[in-house]
Amino acid sequence: QQMNTRITVAHISADYAELDYLSDSLTKDRQSSEVIAAKAMLSRLVEDCSIPLEVRAIVSIHRFKDVEALIAREGVDLLLLGHQNRPFGVFASFGFEFINHLSIDVLIKHVPTP
């Protein structure tokens, strides 16, 4: 809270819109397990942090449009994008999508697996 700083935490995962036409249980199970894991990770992060955090959830098939709307509405000026155990090529293209589509600065940080 020093210097009027606000920290908002969010989790951004893969866009499953292109897979949804399959409507198969493997796709649905993968989506569900990733959403549950993301919520658990955010809960641990908020509980472990000694400074106040705000958490926002966005479920969307228009990832950049809705994230950009949240950025404008909340006055966000920096997006911290973390990743774990992803091959660099896959991560880089995913991270660069955010860098190229959003109007704010994006900091990419590797998060080691515990």
pTM for the model stands at 0.57
Query: Torsion over CA of 65, 69, 72 and 74, rounded to 10 degrees?
Result: -140
Q: Give per-residue pLDDT as tens, 35-49.
A: 777 777 777 766 777
End-to-end CA distance of the chain: 28
Is residue 83 classed as helix, strand or coil in its secondary structure? strand
pLDDT in tens, 46-99: 677 777 767 777 777 777 888 888 888 888 888 777 665 555 555 555 677 878
CA 45/CA 40 separation, integer angstroms = 9
Q: What is the DSSP letter of 73?
A: H
Residue 44's pLDDT is: 73
